[in-house]
Chain A
Amino acid sequence: EAGVTQSPTHLIKTRGQQATLRCSPISGHTSVYWYQQALGLGLQFLLWYDEGEERNRGNFPPRFSGRQFPNYSSELNVNALELEDSALYLCASSYRDTNTEAFFGQGTRLTVV
Chain B
Amino acid sequence: QQQVKQSPQSLIVQKGGISIINCAYENTAFDYFPWYQQFPGKGPALLIAIRPDVSEKKEGRFTISFNKSAKQFSLHIMDSQPGDSATYFCAALTQGGSEKLVFGKGTKLTVNP
- Chain A interface (Cβ < 8 Å from any Cβ of B): 4, 31, 33, 35, 40-45, 48, 55-56, 58, 90, 92, 99-107
Other than the known A42-B103, A42-B106, what 4 A-B pairs have Cβ atoms closer than 8 Å? Answer: A4-B43, A56-B100, A100-B34, A102-B46
Q: Is the CB of A90 within 8 A of B43?
A: yes
* Complex Cα gap A106–B41 (Å): 7
Which residue of the partner chain A has the closest CB to B102? A45
Q: Is the CB of A33 within 8 A of B101?
A: yes
Q: Does B95 contact A (CB under 8 A)?
A: yes
Q: Which residue of A lies closest to B105 (CB)?
A: A42
Interfacial residues of chain B within 77-113, with CB under 8 A of chain A in the complex: 89, 93, 95, 98-106
Residues of B within 8 A of A (CB): 6, 32, 34, 36, 41-46, 49, 89, 93, 95, 98-106
Q: Which 9 A-B pairs have the closest CB atoms?
A: A104-B43, A42-B105, A43-B103, A45-B100, A56-B98, A106-B43, A104-B44, A42-B103, A99-B99
Distance of A107 Cα from B44 Cα, bound (Å): 10
Contact call A45/B101, Cβ cutoff below 8 A: yes
Contact with B45, one of A40, A45, A100, A104 (Cβ below 8 angstroms)? A104
With A and B bound together, what is the CA distance between A4 and B89 in angstroms? 19
- Indicate if the CB atoms of B42 and A106 lie closer than 8 Å: yes
Choice from A35, A44, A56, A106 contacting B99 with Cβ under 8 Å:
A56
B105 & A41 in contact (Cβ 8 Å cutoff): yes
- The answer on a CB contact under 8 Å between A101 and B101 is no
Closest to B31 in A: A100
Contacting residues, chain A, for B93 (C-beta < 8 A):
99-100
Q: How far is the CA of A57 from the CA of B44 in the complex (A)?
A: 20
Do residues A103 and B100 form an inter-chain contact, with CB atoms below 8 A?
Answer: no
Chain A residues near B99: list those with CB within 8 A: 31, 48, 55-56, 99
With the chains together, A103 CA to B6 CA distance in Å? 21
